[in-house]
Amino acid sequence: ETGVTQSPTHLIKTRGQQVTLRCSSQSGHNTVSWYQQALGQGPQFIFQYYREEENGRGNFPPRFSGLQFPNYSSELNVNALELDDSALYLCASSLVPDSYYEQYFGPGTRLTVT
């Protein structure tokens, strides 16, 4: 069984640029959620994708967008980067509705915006 993987591990971008983060779900999972974790804080829900459609969104502006592909992998895109976007971005996959809403996390992508 393959776990959740994310790429890249680290990324440095300049304010105003755009970035794409990638996530591969755990095998057999059909749902992907993205979270933003500021240093020393708990993760904050960005959005979730279920069967390739957005299914719930947190309090994040539209410049945060995503995709889910037929193989259930996913991308998080952030446009017009701001300094406050610097954080650890976590991807989590789950099997809905079977798995009691347990989410399995990837190692994260550390994004630094300068």
Partner 1 sequence: AQTVTQSQPEMSVQEAETVTLSCTYDTSENNYYLFWYKQPPSRQMILVIRQEAYKQQNATENRFSVNFQKAAKSFSLKISDSQLGDTAMYFCAFVNPGSGNTGKLIFGQGTTLQVKP
* Interaction of residue 60 with partner 1, rule CB under 8 A: no
CA 78, CA 47: separation in Å to the nearest integer? 13
> Which of 23, 66, 76, 106 is in the footprint of partner 1 by CB under 8 A?
106
Nearest approach in angstroms of CB 39 to partner 1 is 11
* Interaction of residue 55 with partner 1, rule CB under 8 A: yes
Residues 6+ apart with CB under 8 A from 88: 36, 37, 38, 39, 108, 109, 110, 111
Interacting residues with partner 1 between 62 and 101 (CB under 8 A): 88, 90, 92, 94, 96-97, 100-101
